[in-house]
Amino acid sequence: MCIEESQMDWWGCKHLRFLGFSLNSLTCKCLALVVIALALRAALFPTFSGFGSIEQSDLLVIHNLSFSLNSEFGVRRFKFLEVPQIVWGLNNQKIAFARACLTARMLNRTLLMPSLSASLFYKEIDLLQPIPFDKVFQFERFNSLCNGFIQLSRYSDIVNRTDVLELQKGSGRKWTVERDLDQLRQFGNDPYDGYETIRVVGKNPFLWHDHWPVKDYAKVFECLVLVDEISKEADRVVSKIREIGREMRSKIGSSQDGVVSGTALLQPVPYVAVHMRIEKDWMIHCKKLEQRSKVSEICSSKEEIMERVGNIVGLETPMVVYLAVADTLLEDNSILNGWKEGLVPFEKKKLGVVGIYKKHPYLIQSAIDYEVCSRADVFVGNSFSTFSSLIVLERTQKIISMGGSRPCAMDVRWPSYAYNILGESKGPRLWMTNMSDSNLRAISYGSNDISC
């Protein structure tokens, strides 16, 4: 609100006219207020270093204002948020990590690099195998890609390790989304904000309440880049798949035409990746989920998956089909049998890459499979699987970034499908992520609402 003109005679338009400006009274008043505000800020917030001061080095200016819950000043480098060890499967851990990042962002703090879990033991906490974040994802690369949005820091950056305030995360039915949000807002203000480190104690971040839209989570996921060692392992698996596909097409081309062009042999051979969820633990979980939610389109048998993948419209054959499945939990050894003619299935053993996986803990094995599936020309998964859902989110972003205006079109590049939902021509339903969703629930816990 601008003040009355009569109150501005000591500063207002007379001075501006003297300087050669010709401004109307409203503009003049507002400009004067801006100058006054700047003067007050300079007086109240000096640039010297000391308790309570705001140093330029302590701030990372946020340039992109399109993200929700922006801080007025930026991401502070020397105010920290510490979270518990992140547990469960790879993609639950990625969601938990993103939720921790967005919590730190809301509190205008830097997230201390959390510990992930290499093993899948999520009930016996003492059996968990902790693994540092930077053994899986590139630390510096994350900070570079997420600069101004989220920042990670190492524990060595803490100045006073005793200046810690514990934030007990609420739980139970009485702890609502609103109460959780109120708690976070409270800890973003004094006297709580004065502590160098806020340590969150309580449940795993995956189970924290969700206050952020899909696009904010997507931004964090974009900044997660696997370390070179893991990425190169995925390269080896993908190269093996494409090599087999090239050999198959070369044989067919030779038998039909006698000659295969050099250009055709050099082009990447497409493949289909199927996240085949038929393991014993999944079948128990999905049947209970169907009963509880009264939704029938969650579980899919081996035969249903094979039939629907075989009915994908426009799928060229011969085609290598990579089956991403948790081998140790698989009780059915016949997953390679019964596929439609022209679809040639491979799992790790038949592909000859078991050795690549076995030398790594569960978390790394899952990360390699994730890369193999996300790079596939066609991906088919289960819409109630977090693994499948995050792959589709990444592929949806890829389509949009490449200018795809019709992500659900039948001829879209890098299509994704949900085999648990019936689609066109008795095939799986086309699937894309709704990037305008207000939260990540559909991905965190699964849904049969898959946009297409």
What pLDDT score does 157 carry? 94
The DSSP annotation for 227-262 comes to: -HHHHHHHHHHHHHHHHHHHHHHHHHHHHHHS---H
What pLDDT score does 367 carry? 97
Inter-CA distances, 243 with 113, 235, 415, Å = 39, 12, 22
Q: Whole-prediction pTM value? A: 0.79
What pLDDT score does 225 carry? 97
Q: Is 370 within 8 Å of 391 (Cβ atoms)?
A: yes
What pLDDT score does 15 carry? 40
What pLDDT score does 19 carry? 38
Q: Write phi, then psi, for 417 (nearest 5 degrees).
A: -135, 155
What pLDDT score does 328 carry? 64
| Mean pLDDT, contiguous 10-residue spans, the chain (452 residues) | 37 39 49 54 40 33 36 74 94 96 96 93 69 97 96 95 92 90 94 95 91 96 97 97 91 57 64 93 90 91 96 92 80 84 94 94 95 97 96 93 70 89 94 94 90 79
Helical ranges in 258-331 per DSSP H: 262-266, 280-293, 302-310
The torsion of the CA quartet 373, 379, 380, 382, rounded to 10 degrees, works out to: 60
What pLDDT score does 16 carry? 39
Q: Is 388 within 8 Å of 429 (Cβ atoms)?
A: no
